[in-house]
């Protein structure tokens, strides 16, 4: 993102100021679980005098060992009609080129308050949205078997940020999300929709209870 309100001198001055907080930022980011799969980008475009933004994204290995995948393979050619497919079909027909689970979020540091906050963005899981894996098929998952839709309803684009049970809204409780990712990500990596639903339900309930305190 480019901040067109900043001159070149202002943009570089603010970027340089971020260097004063890099050690603290790295230490905070390393508190997140599975950080060997975590990647970071420095958002200079959002930089302010006392606000520093770090774009983070998990890229997690994805396996089909415990997949609950059931969906539809839509032929890309007229002579390839759509067919219902399951775990066995996926393993037999699809060689996933980039089997990764991605989950993005922003960490923001306010140096004037010594305060961290977090905001989750949309997640992506292979096989769980329309995806072109080869020249023959698009694959789409059924709603009831999609971990990605479950995640995005709670911590992604489908969440109601005004709902007191929402885990998607910006929060200063970074520790809550660290704990959430610790238990959620293994279920995402194994495509276990029942585990994902259970974890997200617990997270929403915890968030609701915390909002009443």
Answer yes or no: is pLDDT of 101 > 70.
yes
Average pLDDT over every residue of 186-210: 82
What does pTM read for this prediction?
0.77
For residues 72 and 201, what is the distance between their CA atoms, to the nearest angstrom?
27
Are 188 and 197 in contact, with CB atoms under 8 Å apart? Answer: no
β-sheet bridge partners, residue 73 = 83, 139
Q: Which comes out higher in pLDDT, residue 52 or 84? A: 52
For residues 61 and 98, what is the distance between their CA atoms, to the nearest angstrom?
9
Lowest-pLDDT range of 43-57, 64-78, 177-191: 64-78
For residues 56 and 167, what is the distance between their CA atoms, to the nearest angstrom?
17
Average pLDDT over every residue of 14-39: 86
Q: Report residue 129's pLDDT band, with 50, 70 and 90 as the boundaries.
A: very low
Of 108, 107, 124, 118, nearest in space to 188 by CA = 124
Tell me which range, 48-52, 66-70, 183-187, 204-208, is most confidently predicted by mean pLDDT. 183-187
């Amino acid at each position: 993102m480019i901040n067109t309100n900043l001159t070149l001198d202002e943009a570089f001055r603010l970027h340089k100021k971020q260097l004063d907080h890099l050690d603290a930022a790295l230490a905070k980011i390393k508190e997140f679980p599975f950080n060997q799969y975590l990647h970071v980008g420095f958002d200079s475009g959002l930089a302010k005098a006392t606000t520093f933004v770090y774009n983070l994204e998990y890229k997690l290995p994805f396996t089909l060992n415990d997949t609950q995948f059931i969906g539809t393979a839509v032929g890309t050619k007229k002579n390839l009609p759509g067919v219902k497919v399951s775990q066995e079909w996926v393993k037999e027909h699809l060689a996933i080129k980039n089997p990764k689970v991605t989950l993005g979020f922003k960490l923001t540091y306010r140096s004037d308050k010594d305060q961290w906050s977090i905001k989750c963005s949309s997640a992506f899981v292979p096989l769980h949205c329309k995806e072109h894996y080869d020249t023959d098929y698009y694959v789409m998952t059924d709603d009831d078997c999609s971990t990605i839709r479950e995640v995005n309803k709670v911590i992604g684009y489908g969440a109601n940020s005004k709902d007191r049970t929402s885990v998607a809204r910006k929060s200063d409780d970074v520790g809550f999300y660290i704990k959430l990712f610790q238990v959620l990500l293994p279920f995402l990596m194994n495509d276990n929709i029942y585990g994902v639903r259970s974890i997200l339900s617990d997270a929403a309930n915890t968030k609701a209870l915390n909002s009443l305190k």
